[in-house]
Amino acid sequence: MKWTKYKGRDALVNKIQTILFFRLIEKRYYKLMRTLIFYEVLSREDEILESMNKVVSEQWM
């Protein structure tokens, strides 16, 4: 992606296109990350529950 200087209306259009482009990437990336985290949690559910129980029991002691 080459950065070029635009003047007037073209600059505005370019700015908007760039923002939309990055938003699109961000959304897709966010969805992917959420899915990955979800699967990570599912695969390590026992481990996570165990550590949470440990934390909770330590707090109540």
What angle, 0 to 180 degrees and rounded to 10, lies between the N-to-C axes of helices 45-60 and 9-43?
Answer: 80
Query: Does any domain span residue 36?
Result: yes
Predicted pLDDT of residue 56 = 83
Query: Does any domain span residue 2?
Result: no
The pTM of this model reads: 0.37
Predicted pLDDT of residue 42 = 78
Hey, CA dihedral for 50, 54, 59, 61, is it positive or negative? positive
Domain of residue 21, residue span? 9-60
Cα distance between residue 41 and residue 44, in whole Å: 5
Using one digit for the tens of pLDDT, what is the confidence trace for 6-60? 677 788 888 888 888 888 888 888 888 888 888 877 778 788 778 888 888 887 7
Number of domains in the chain: 1
